[in-house]
Structure 1
């Protein structure tokens, strides 16, 4: 099961990033252009939040199935001395959880705003902050924190 979880978590990473980039750019254009908040803008807001929640759910299951995290939890005092283990056992999941909380709050606040400008503004700010957190917490191949390939296969 672990290789499948890793594969789907790797694939959904790209869906999260693409949807967030698209939602932020669309919201920024709407905010600065004083455009009306359309039904498709609302759908983009909702789909982006949903994709993010699915990714977080896969990530939580993966977290509790991961041998790296199992070692981290059972040998905490030794594992925190190794940054790679600390990254996956603590930092990655904490930052990703915070990022999804930010997306959820931003999506909820955007939905509740009365003016279209405020809807776009909330979406832009909250989704952009979440995107930055996510970009920092992904173990990119070039990352000095912890590196993994762009795509994981079975």
Structure 2
């Protein structure tokens, strides 16, 4: 199961980033351009949050079955001193949980705002903060600290 969930989690990461960037772009465009919050913007918000939640569930599932996190949980005092093990056992899941919470709160707040500019502004701010947290917590291929391939094969 691990060999299926890990590449799936790697693939869905790109869907999260693409949809989040699109939603943020539209949000700033609508906010600064004082545009109407359209049905497309509503659907984009819902699709972005849905993809994010799917990725989060995949990540939780991966956390539960990963040999790295299993080792971390059973050898916490050693694992917390090992950069890569600590990253996947503690840092990655914590930061991604925070990012999911920020984006979910932002989507919920934006939905309830009165006025199109307020919807766009709320969504732009919360989604941007969430994106920054996500970007800081992905094990990028170029990272000198913890790195993984751009995309894992099935």
TM-score (norm: length of structure 2): 0.99
Match of 1:129 in 2: 129
Task: For residues 118-149 of structure 1, give each alpha carbon's deviation from its aligned partner in whole angstroms, at most 9, with x where no partner exists.
Answer: 00001100000011110000000111331000
**Paired residues of 1:87 and 1:145 also in contact (CA < 8 A):** no
SS at match of 2:101: helix
Work out whether 1:99 is the aligned partner of 2:99: yes
Match of 2:24 in 1: 24
Unpaired segments ≥5 residues, structure 2: none
The separation in 2 between residues aligned to 1:76 and 1:120, in whole angstroms, is 43
Match of 2:150 in 1: 150
Q: Which structure 2 residues correspond to residues 34-113 of structure 1 after superposition, within 5 A?
A: 34-113=34-113
Question: How many residue pairs are counted as aligned between the two chains?
Answer: 154
Unpaired segments ≥5 residues, structure 1: none
The separation in 2 between residues aligned to 1:145 and 1:49, in whole angstroms, is 29
Which 4+ residue blocks in structure 1 deviate beyond 6 angstroms? none
The separation in 2 between residues aligned to 1:53 and 1:20, in whole angstroms, is 12
- Root-mean-square deviation (Å): 0.6
The separation in 2 between residues aligned to 1:70 and 1:55, in whole angstroms, is 20
The separation in 1 between residues aligned to 2:89 and 2:144, in whole angstroms, is 16
SS at match of 1:148: coil
**Paired residues of 1:99 and 1:130 also in contact (CA < 8 A):** yes
